[in-house]
Amino acid sequence: MMKNLVAWLILAIWLAFGAWYYACKVKNLCGSAADPAANLSNTASNNLTPTTLKLAYQNIFDMEDGLHFEFSEEQVHVDESFNEGIDHIATFLEAHPLTSVIITGLYTSDEVNDTKETTIGMARAIGIQKILENKGIASDKIIINDAVEEDLYLDDEVKQIFNFKFSDKDANFDSSELRAAYRSIDYLERNAQFNKDGEEVLFIQEPKASIATLDYYLNKNKDYFLQITGPYTEKELLRSGETNIGLVRAYHLKGQLGDYSLNQEKVLIDSREETNIFDAYDSSFPKMMELNFVFPDKEDEAKQRELALEYALAKLLNDEPQEEIPAESDIAESNVEKGNIATTPLKFGYASHKVRLNAGVKDYVVELKKYLADFPEKNITIIGHADNIGSEDYNFELGRIRGLSARNLLINYKISPTRIKVISEGELSPIASNETKEGRRMNRRVEIDIN
């Protein structure tokens, strides 16, 4: 009898273990301490809103302003603005566990390195890392490197020591370009000034470079917008027929940006009421005009897959270098095609319209085809572009032919031609300066807009 009970007990334990193993290990159906983290990894990136990103970048700019070191000196010195910024960054990283912070130790080539590290810049980066760790930022959230910066000790040089590394889920946030865009916003907000009861907004320092950076960023990210919010007080006089003078200020600043060629269709305006805007001389305090980006809804699956595809295409367009054949103002295509132009995917050599296929392009087209199958209401517009070498009519036709070449590529992969529209903008929509070889290379391109 006792033997039977023991046998039944062993069998029961074995069956229970088997059921648990199948449900928890094979099917992964059991809840555990790891599950919340897994869910967090799927949702944390959704919290990277324009507001949180802007505040995070403002704090790293404050940290950079509050961090100092002397020539050939390893030790870094920090002030109150650094300490305030680092407290906010620690909170930001805790709230966004998929994001890390990058520290770049800067140094000049003629500095003496008496440290045990490979460069004095790396020694500085390690020193800054220790400060961040003392503030509670985990070491696995910190990436360090070094870089030579010859203008490091110039008074007007902006130090670029901190940046963020985003997860693959937020790959559409190119960290270097996003940092530059928010640095430009910070610069414009600091320098945009207006007077009490005044409608005009003027820049107290030259804004051209910062506006050009924003223009480039908005052109590259077609679904992003720039929003300007103008402040006003309840007692300010309004001479125009608008709802409030803050809206008039936002509209005026929008026009100022347009004067520097920023696309007006990419700019939205709004207003907000404030109580403390002006100093004793009735001039606005710095950073009263508010600028920020408007991103697409991250809850929209179709939009997010669309952005991922457009980001993948942009990465393909810029991953490889491309040669440029010396140009003549009067061009003939037959004299240009030499068969030895090093082209990038969907980028084109001078006066060329041929698409060179490689594994990256194939992978992209396969993903695009899957996307169109999942969202049958979506279509594709292919936009062909050219640099400004040659006549405007010639470049318009060259852009159209490039678009048709890309269209044929997609059709070859069984994407329905009825879902593909081709237009040309020729030389009229550059994303970089046509005054440089690299700029012209970037402007010879096609873009795929999913709509």
Domain ranges (residues) in the chain: 47-167, 176-294, 301-328+340-450
pLDDT at res. 239: 61
Judge if 47-167 and 176-294 fold alike in CATH terms: yes
Q: pTM of the full predicted structure?
A: 0.63
Please name the fold of domain 47-167. 60s Ribosomal Protein L30; Chain: A; (3.30.1330)
Q: Please state, in angstroms and rounded to a whole number, the distance separating the CA atoms of residues 162 and 143.
A: 10
Count the residues in the chain. Answer: 451
From residue 397, alpha-carbon distances to 6, 177, 387, 403, 446 in Å are 87, 31, 12, 10, 13
Q: Say how many C-beta atoms besides its own lie within 10 A of residue 231's C-beta.
A: 24
How would you classify the pairing of strands 100-107 and 162-165? antiparallel
H helix or E strand, kind and range, residue 227: strand 225-232
* CA-wise closest residue to 349 among 336, 361, 362: 336
The CA distance from 130 to 7, in Å, is: 60
CB within 8 Å of 24: residues ≥ 6 apart: 30, 32
User: Which of 219, 228, 184, 179 has the alpha carbon at shortest distance from 56?
Assistant: 179
> CA 163, CA 283: separation in Å to the nearest integer?
33
Whether 75 and 127 have beta carbons less than 8 Å apart is answered as: yes
Angle in degrees, 0-180, between the axes of helices 175-191 and 208-220, rounded to the nearest 10? 140
Give the three-class secondary structure for 366: helix
Q: How far apart, in whole angstroms, are the C-alpha atoms of residue 413 and residue 275?
A: 60
To the question of domain 301-328+340-450 being in CATH 3.30.360.30, the answer is: no
Correct CATH for 176-294 of 3.30.1330.60, 1.10.150.120, 3.40.50.300, 1.20.1260.10:
3.30.1330.60
Q: What is the pLDDT along the chain (451 residues), one digit of tens a residue?
A: 555 555 555 555 555 555 554 444 433 444 433 333 333 333 334 478 899 999 999 999 999 999 998 999 999 999 988 988 999 999 999 999 999 999 999 999 999 999 999 999 999 999 999 999 999 999 999 999 999 999 888 876 778 999 999 987 777 787 889 999 999 999 999 999 999 988 899 999 999 999 999 999 998 887 788 999 999 998 887 665 556 888 889 989 998 998 888 888 888 888 899 999 999 999 999 999 999 998 876 656 676 677 677 666 666 655 443 333 333 333 233 332 332 222 233 555 555 455 555 667 777 888 888 888 888 888 888 888 888 888 888 888 888 888 887 888 788 878 888 888 888 888 887 877 788 877 787 788 788 777 7
